[in-house]
Amino acid sequence: MLKNFIYSVYHYSWALVSAVLFWFPSHKIRVIGITGTKGKTTTVALLAHVFSSVGKQSAYLSSAFMSDGTNSIKNKTSNSMPGRFFIQRFLRQSVRAGSAYAFIEVTSQGVVQHRHKFISWAGAVFLDIHPEHIESHGSFKKYLQAKLSFFTYAHNHSRNTVFYIHKNDSHADDFIRAAGDSKKILFSADDLFDIPDCPALPGDFNKINIAAMYAVAREEGITHRDIIQALISFLGVSGRMEFVVKEPFEVVVDYAHTPDSLEAVYAFLRARVDLRGTKLICVLGSAGGGRDTWKRPAMGKLAGNYCDEIVLTNEDPFNEDPDRIIDMVFEGVRQGSKYAHARTHRVLDRKEAITKAVSLAQPGDVVVCTGKGSESYIRVKGGKKIEWSEREAVLEAQRGYTQI
């Protein structure tokens, strides 16, 4: 108990000191936080694009990229919601750059470390919640409570916060209660009946992100017509359902790192290859360091159920034996029975694994690489980081394929 108290006071102090040091910058910019298990990065990017397209200069901070409203750079902090002065300094820089809005991913671990505090939240968005970070939080209940704490704090400490809640999520009522008597706007994919598909955001799973964006944009005064025009011009997010190669086969890079998100990606691509009568080939790993070990066999089972060829590989082992992680994923693959003809390959080196998957592809097939997305490093033993680009690894493998 004493250790937890000291931990909480330590992070609370950092949050307070940083807000004071940078003069509480959130009072001069409309800050909207997006929370949920999946879809945060895409929703942040979509909001920033739509708002900027109508002249509302927007900053954003996500696990993939960040911008003060001028230049966009990759987030190389390995943290979706960085601490130690980072967020308050980012908001101050965004104000100086002339941004009117800032869209920020709000994570459960960031909330536990008080990184959402001393920020005046103009809006708070809830997308969805699924089992994730269970071992770091101790239970799904504690993970859920961390997400809810963001809503509770915004309701109690920010003036006129508007809460946007995905009404079809099984925990929507919990977030409605956490928002108290503040203004609440409920949204779902059903709201998109008169909105055209976004070419850069395929799949039903992206409709929640689009619906969230639409709800926020309309509330902030952007017209339906302007939203549609911006949506059509949106180019997508690097590492999120990104079709890196399109011919003679497709290679997709996606960040999917939970069973729910992985199944959504696999189901979309399975339907795609079934229409052609071709194969789905996957490159699959799982994070290490003792994190969420429960999901390893679950993700392996999904690969066994959906994919014709499976290449198991390394992802972010941290201090854990990567071969042991692959063993756990493989146990799940063996349980997957829908595609009994699925062939499994074990290639520890991730670059070689991607090359192997591409070498298995025939015209019309789809290769999907999940887990890394646009991340810049593979994290290994002893806190070391190896520079990495999933996209470049795919392109290099594809170049080798065309030279055969």
What was the pLDDT predicted at 194? Answer: 85
What pTM, to 2 d.p., does this model score? 0.89
Q: Which two tokens stand for residue 295?
A: 């999901």
Domains recognised in the chain with CATH numbers: 2-233 (3.40.1190.10), 242-402 (3.90.190.20)
pLDDT, mean of residues 267-294: 90
Helices (H) and strands (E) in the chain, counts: 14, 16
pLDDT, mean of residues 120-141: 83
Does residue 292 contact residue 132 with C-beta atoms inside 8 Å? yes
What was the pLDDT predicted at 288? Answer: 75
Q: pLDDT averaged over the chain? A: 91
Q: How far is CA 48 from CA 55, 68, 100, 216, in A?
A: 11, 11, 11, 11
What was the pLDDT predicted at 138? Answer: 65
What was the pLDDT predicted at 239? Answer: 92
What was the pLDDT predicted at 180? Answer: 96
What was the pLDDT predicted at 84? Answer: 73
Does residue 213 contact residue 50 with C-beta atoms inside 8 Å? yes
What was the pLDDT predicted at 276? Answer: 95
Asked whether the predicted pLDDT for residue 137 surpasses 80, the reply is no
What was the pLDDT predicted at 332? Answer: 93
What was the pLDDT predicted at 132? Answer: 67
What was the pLDDT predicted at 393? Answer: 97
Alpha helices in 190-319 (DSSP H): 207-219, 224-233, 259-276, 295-306
Mean pLDDT lowest among 101-105, 171-175, 176-180, 237-241 = 237-241
Continuous segment of H or E residues that includes residue 245: strand 242-245
Does residue 100 contact residue 30 with C-beta atoms inside 8 Å? yes
Rounded to 10 degrees, the C-alpha dihedral 346/350/354/357 comes to: 10
pLDDT, mean of residues 8-33: 91
Rounded to 10 degrees, the C-alpha dihedral 263/265/268/273 comes to: -100
Residues 6+ apart with CB under 8 A from 12: 114, 117
pLDDT, mean of residues 99-123: 95
Residue 160, judged by CB atoms within 10 A of its CB (0-12, 13-18, 19+), counts as exposed
Q: Which two tokens stand for residue 329?
A: 């994923």
Q: How far is residue 364's CA from residue 403's CA, in Å, rounded to a whole number?
A: 18
DSSP conformational letter for 147 = H
pLDDT digits (tens, 9 = 90+) for 141-192: 998 999 999 999 999 998 799 999 999 999 999 999 999 999 999 999 998 8
Phi, psi (rounded to 5 degrees) for 163: -105, 130
Q: How far is residue 121's CA from residue 74's CA, in Å, rounded to a whole number?
A: 24
What was the pLDDT predicted at 1? Answer: 65
What was the pLDDT predicted at 159? Answer: 79
pLDDT digits (tens, 9 = 90+) for 256-270: 988 999 999 999 999
pLDDT digits (tens, 9 = 90+) for 365-394: 999 999 999 999 999 988 899 999 999 999
Share of the chain above pLDDT 90, in %: 74
DSSP conformational letter for 204 = G
pLDDT, mean of residues 306-335: 93
Asked whether the predicted pLDDT for residue 133 surpasses 70, the reply is no
Q: Which amino acid is at 25?
A: P
Other beta carbons less than 10 A from residue 374's beta carbon: 21
Asked whether the predicted pLDDT for residue 291 surpasses 80, the reply is no
What was the pLDDT predicted at 158? Answer: 83
pLDDT digits (tens, 9 = 90+) for 61-97: 998 899 999 988 888 776 778 877 899 999 999 999 9
What was the pLDDT predicted at 10? Answer: 80
Please tell me whether residue 214 adopts helix, strand or coil conformation: helix
Asked whether the predicted pLDDT for residue 403 surpasses 60, the reply is no
DSSP codes, 377-397 = EEE-GGG-EEE--HHHHHHHH
pLDDT, mean of residues 246-262: 94
